[in-house]
Chains A and B, each alone.
Chain A
Amino acid sequence: MPDFPTPDLSHLTRADFRNVYEPAEDTFLLLDAIEEHPRIALDDDRQRDRDWPSVCLEIGSGSGCVSTFVAKVVGRSNALFLTTDVNPHAARATRRTGEKNEVTLDPVVMDLASALLPRLRRSVDLLIFNPPYVPTESAEVASPSNLPAPLFSISASWAGGVDGREVLDRFLPYADELLAPGGVFLMVLLEDNAPEEIITEVRDRWGWTGRRVKERRAGRERLVIVQFVRGADVHVG
């Protein structure tokens, strides 16, 4: 398997990172999960015949580090790399990070995936979300009814409300709408978010297979990458 370098972020300054989440342990754990994923990172022979994914979508792309890395691993002309972020600074950083690393990302400013449905219904092959997962007061969470006050504040990139699950819980129904048959959904969680509970909930609601694919201790937190796969043979209706 080829080795992929961490995207070059040297164009982003301290000033950028006052408004945009700076890649940290959680970002890098997600990159490791992508690089080690047997369907995303292929050996050279299989890369030549790659026919998946066609549509990648990252929610909350921040600096653009993760989607840039995905584009490098998948191959920049092999798929569409759509990204959303509620923060216009982040969308600009995402575009610039793509350009700096010679891949094209397609950033759009929106709440979660609100303007991509129903067009992308059951059409996203690879869905990625590193949500604001830190348990906080609900008032700190960015949401449609709580805009734009915390919109440009950096806390919106990590404040997750009760159990760190408020944004995540609001996104899960979108994930069900978006994910294509056979699609893969990678998500970053904390151990404090109770990943097993979420895996069970999602399995009961939609029958998706979920499991931990990567975990690492980071200071007092334990980071977990959870993968969900939608069955290829589900009834699409």
Chain B
Amino acid sequence: MAISMHESVDLGRPGETPPPGAAKRRSPWLGQHMGTALIAAAGGFALGHWAGNAIAGNYENVAGSGQNNVATVLALSFGVLGWLIGSGALNYPLAKLVGKEPAPEIEEVGWGRYFRFTLDHKVVGMQYIIAVLLFLFTGGLLAMAIRTELLSPTTHYFGPGTYIAVVSEHGTVMMMMATSVITGPIAGWLIPLMIGSRRMAFPRVEAFSFWMFTAGYLVILTALPFGGFPTGWTGYAPLQTQAAGGMDSYLVGFAVVGIGMITAGFNIIATIINYRAPGMTWSRLPIFIWSLLAVASLLALATPTLVTGGLFGILDRTAQTAFFVNEHGGSSFLWENLFWFFGHPEVYIMALPGFGIVGEILPVFTGKPLFGYRVGAAGMLGVALLSFFVWQHHLFQSGINPDMRPLFMLTTELISIPTGFIYLTGMGTLWKAKIRFEVPMLFALALYFNFLIGGITGVFLSDVPVNVTVHGSFFVLAHFHYTIMGGLIFAFFGGLYYWLPKMTGKTLNKTLSLVHFWMMFIFFNLTFFPLFIVGLLGQPRRVFEYAQRLQGLNDFSSISAYLLGASFLVFTANFAWSLWIDPKPAPANPWGSRGLEWQTPTPVPFNNFERIPVILADPYHYGEENPLPVADLGVPVGAGVGSGGSGGSGPSGISGTTLIEGGPGDV
């Protein structure tokens, strides 16, 4: 390993379990946790606000507005810093800076650990699950408000300023949530278990990503008390430069979430490359891990553009630079380019993990190996690579580089080819299969159904002549909800239903799960399909007034949206009921999966694997007479454990040599 985590960290030294009682265990509530983080964040906010007013108190961006962007930006930045300090995220680097040796981290138990800065990727994963659900439901409530306003073309429930603030907040919250909805919780929980590692490469960085993500949530929420922002999630300048205080929350919030995304991306890349167990060759890597490798490369390479763009925006609004100000030599096209140079890879950040999850689910419930594994993995990398070359298709009618439109039309349509690979793997796996329609499988099949509509309408959007009709209309809105919600969010819930029994050791109520699925699937389609027609008939996005003749379709969509929202109440009830109120223990391997993560005990021990496993086969040997065992979980001393990039010492404990097999027959 090029970067040493240093010996002080007991956690994750492969081959060693931390000696029990090595460090004194005390109540988690005495140390730093989310409460102290909140207090420090509030203190930082107040300090920053005071400092901003002291520096630039005589300057108001909009005369008479009473808002000072310097104070707002400093308040938010110091607030985030306070959040990190208060949570303990900076203890280790700060201690190192002053030459002290930080106290070793130990395994934490009990409820308190879920509110603390912790290095156990499984705890961070559970923290992430709750956080993304909170994010998702916040955005969902805002969506309900939007659909309520659109019940009538002329009667308004909100003023135009409130409405546009709600629309912008909904879009931004959802996009921030979607960047991490799988790469945070499910991937954070699973990557080490799937590749046979005891931890992520950089456990502190993983926890840091989570605390940045939650800080971003708090920052974007502050937009509402500041009066919201009017730009939508795209934040186009000069409207951005002109907007009031909520815009600062958008710019700082995206930068904060962006930094969390970049660190998460590098961490995932480092983990997958370096922390695979011996025998976990590239051709045995689960397809979900391939999708995460593709996503992580996008997180690491595309997100810096967003952070930079956000910084330019902040400087324009505070230090009066002119990056996006046409009159002073800047260009509003610069923001459009920077934003979409991030924004389109972002779309695939949100699509690819979903493909990875269904790629894991399908073989289990068809009893067949994944068809065209190599093609599927290549498809994901191909999509990731091409996603950097398509961003100007968002700007076809903008007047930038009009002669480049055929090129961007070509690159955009070329993405259909690797995306088609992913359908090929799905369809090939179903061929003459033995399908079990369990809840995760239903979500996986729903992804293929929904994403097909999203993908095909994407081809219409990529066609420049047709784009003239549909650009900026509800057609676009329906299209990307079909890809992000119909794809990613369905995959996320499929993944939750599939892995929660492993993560929590508890069984989710099947009836409620089925009710949730069918409500979500039916009302998702009934909400968004009519919006394609609404868009074709001429309704632009983000409007609160529309043609009278479109009221029928809009109302249909709104009522379906309420029922779609209700489906998440069913999920929440199921989640709370099955995990806390009336928990029922889950079987060790309820779906009969051969995945490595299912071969560990439940609950998964602190260090995941007592011995670093030796991987013997890929996890897709379903439907074979004498399938190879997936891994040797306990190997004799000196059998090569510790090689293969796991970067640690050899085994020191003693364990039996059990060959673990999985399969539908072993439930």
Task: Determine if chain A interacts with chain B.
Answer: no
Question: Which A residues lie at the B interface, using CB under 8 A?
Answer: none
Question: Which B residues lie at the A interface, using CB under 8 A?
Answer: none
